[in-house]
Amino acid sequence: MVTVKKKSAAAIAGFVLFLQGPMPAWAQEAAEVVQNTQAQTEVTAKASTENKLLQVEHNIEELKSKIDEQTKNLEDVVNKLNKTIENINTFTKGIAKKEKELDGINKVIGTDLAQAQAVLKDLKKKKQLKEVELKSLEIQKEQSKDNYEKSKNELDSLISLESEESSKKDSYEKIYKNYENKMQNLNSDIKVLSEEIEKDRAALLKLSAKVDEDAKALEDAEHQDNADFDKLRSNLENADKEFNSLNQEIGVKKLKLSDMNSSLTQLEPKFNEAVKSFEEQSKQLESIKQDLDIAKQDTEDKLKDLNDKTSSIENIKEELSAIEVDINSYELSNNESERNKKIEG
């Protein structure tokens, strides 16, 4: 057994020396091959991942480019369609105008010259009046437009102001609620601590009575032959210690209670000031909202007035167009040559 142990120890020592010595060339080469293989694998994997990411990015860019191209093509189609619709509307209006002119000519063909001239005189006078009315309405429309834009700007300013003042109100509300929450927590803690102090005071009175009782027992024992003075003294000392300890705890709690009340006293004016600021801000915001409602209605009224003016102008233009048709018709009523040119044209 001794020989085996010695051989085992020698083998272990030899193995340790082998580990501590330089690595053989074949082992070093094998390790380098493994390390190179791992490094190559990591590089290959990393390169593969990077290539995939680059391919994904390339595909995304291609997709974006195609979407942009399709969007542009769609916009071109829409623009062409709108242009076609516009041309159709213009052409349709032209046909309608031509039909009105022809209808007007057909109605007055053969009208007596004197009668035609009298009608023409009335029509031209009516045209002048309509042109004056149109000019006046166009001036009024510009004024209405200015009034509307001014009202709209005031409305936008009030909307912005309402947003700002509303944010201020929210801030004031958070401040006073924060103080309110702190005061509620303090009041709750003060109530709990006050109840604890009252309980401790009741316990202190009991301990005081026990101290008095133990002191009297020790005093009475002096007149007794078999009294256990050590026990009586121990009882008195323990009762006195409990009394002093509890009395000290009560003192600490009283100081803590005083600090809480002091903090509460300091918070109250801050809370009141925050509530005051919140209420004032609420009133100011309410006033702004009232002004905003008035401004909204005023802007709506001015927009309606502008639209009415625009509509009236369009109506007068249509009336003028009809008067022009009638004037042209009566001017051609006794001029067959020009009338035929107009009809054929």
pLDDT in tens, 31-47: 555 456 555 555 565 66
pLDDT for residue 284 is more than 80? yes
Residues 10 and 138 both lie in one domain: no
- Based on the domain organization, do 154 and 296 belong to the same domain? yes
Q: What is the pLDDT of residue 283?
A: 96
Choosing from 108, 129, 149, the residue where a domain stops is 108
| CATH (domain of 336) | 1.10.287
- For the cut 60, the answer to whether the pLDDT of residue 231 exceeds it is yes
- The secondary structure of residue 21, as a DSSP letter, is S
Residue 83 pLDDT:
64
Count of structural domains within the chain: 2
Final residue of a structural domain among 77, 108, 139: 108
The verdict on 124 and 88 lying in the same domain is no
CB atoms within 10 A of CB 123: 20
Q: 179 and 83, same structural domain?
A: no
Does one domain contain both 125 and 231? Answer: yes
Q: Which of 48-57, 94-103, 130-139, 269-278 has the lowest mean pLDDT?
A: 94-103
The two structure tokens encoding residue 3: 């020989």
Query: Same domain for 224 and 339?
Result: yes
103 and 212 fall within a common domain = no
Give the model confidence (pLDDT) of 196-222 as tens digits.
Answer: 999 999 998 888 888 888 778 777 777
The whole-number pLDDT of residue 240 equals 84
* Vertex 114: Cα angle to 109 and 116 (nearest 5): 40
Q: What local confidence, expressed as pLDDT, does residue 250 receive?
A: 92
Among 108, 130, 145, the domain-final residue is 108
For residues 310-327, give the mean pLDDT.
94
- CB neighbourhood size of 207 (10 A): 20
pLDDT digits (tens, 9 = 90+) for 163-185: 999 999 999 999 999 999 999 99
Q: Provide DSSP, 62-105.
A: HHHHHHHHHHHHHHHHHHHHHHHHHHHHHHHHHHHHHHHHHHHH
Condensed to tens digits (0 to 9), the pLDDT of residues 234-264 reads 877 888 888 888 899 999 999 999 999 999 9
Q: Are residues 59 and 187 in the same domain?
A: no
Q: Domain of residue 236: give its range.
A: 112-345
| CA–CA separation, 177 and 106 (whole Å) | 85
52 and 198 assigned to the same domain: no
Name the least confident of 5-14, 146-155, 171-180, 323-332: 5-14
What integer pLDDT is reported at residue 114 of this predicted model?
74
Question: Which of 314, 312, 307, 292 lies closest to 148 in space, CA to CA?
Answer: 307
The pLDDT value given to residue 162: 96
Decide if 176 contacts 271 (C-beta within 8 A): yes
Q: Is the domain of 68 the same as that of 144?
A: no
- Residues 104 and 193 occupy one common structural domain: no
Pick the more confident residue, 82 or 213: 213
pTM of the complete model: 0.52
Mean pLDDT of the chain: 79
Backbone torsion region of residue 110, taken as left when φ is above 0, otherwise alpha when ψ lies between -120 and 50, otherwise beta: left
Residues 96 and 140 in one domain: no
